[in-house]
Amino acid sequence: MTKQSDINEMVSDFSRVYILTILHEGPVHGYEIINNFRKVIGKDISPSLVYPFLKKLEQKKLVTHTLKPVGAKKRKIFELTQEGREFSEQLFKRFSELISVALEPSLEVCAHCGCKVYEGGYMERIKDRDLMFCCIHCAGAYKQSLKK
C-alpha cells in the first residue's frame, strides 16, 4: 500500500520538475513561480518547497539570481545558467520518454499520415473497416488515394 508520505514526495518531485520548466521559459522571481504553478496546475505550491529548491539549484550552479526592482520592492530574479539549461533539457528529455512509455498503449495511429492520436481524432468507416484518422482532412486524403 502506498503511504501518504510517498505520494507527497512524488508530488514534490513533480513540482520541482515543473519549477525547472518555469525557469526554462525565462527569468522569474519566486512569487511568479508560485502564481504560475497555481494558474497552470490548479494547485497551490508551498513557498517552503520553492525557495529551498531554488537555493539548492543555486548551490549547484544551475541557477543564478539578480536583484531587480519589481514595483516598490527589490526581488530576486532567478535564471538558469547554461549548465542549468542543459541539465533541465536532459531532464525534460528523460521525462518525455517516460511519459511516452505510459501513453503509448492508449495511442491510435492515423490511417493516412501515421501520426499518433492521443485523444479525439476522427473515426470513419471505409470499406467495412473502422479507421482512425487524426483529422477529417486525412480521412478525405485517404479516401482520395483509394480512388487512384
137 in the same domain as 72 = no
114 in the same domain as 61 = no
Residue 109: beta bridge partners?
116
25 in the same domain as 81 = yes
100 in the same domain as 111 = no
Cell 502506498 locates to 2
With CA atoms as reference, report the closest residue to 16 among 98, 87, 119: 87
* pTM recorded for the entire structure: 0.65
112 in the same domain as 81 = no
Residues in the chain: 148
100 in the same domain as 114 = no
What's the number of domains the chain is made of? 2
Is the distance from CB of 90 to CB of 19 less than 8 angstroms?
no
Q: Which three cell numbers stand for residue 8?
A: 507527497
For 72-112, what is each residue's pLDDT tens digit?
889 999 999 999 999 999 988 888 888 777 777 778 889 99
Is the distance from CB of 45 to CB of 123 less than 8 angstroms?
no
Full domain range(s) for residue 138: 107-147
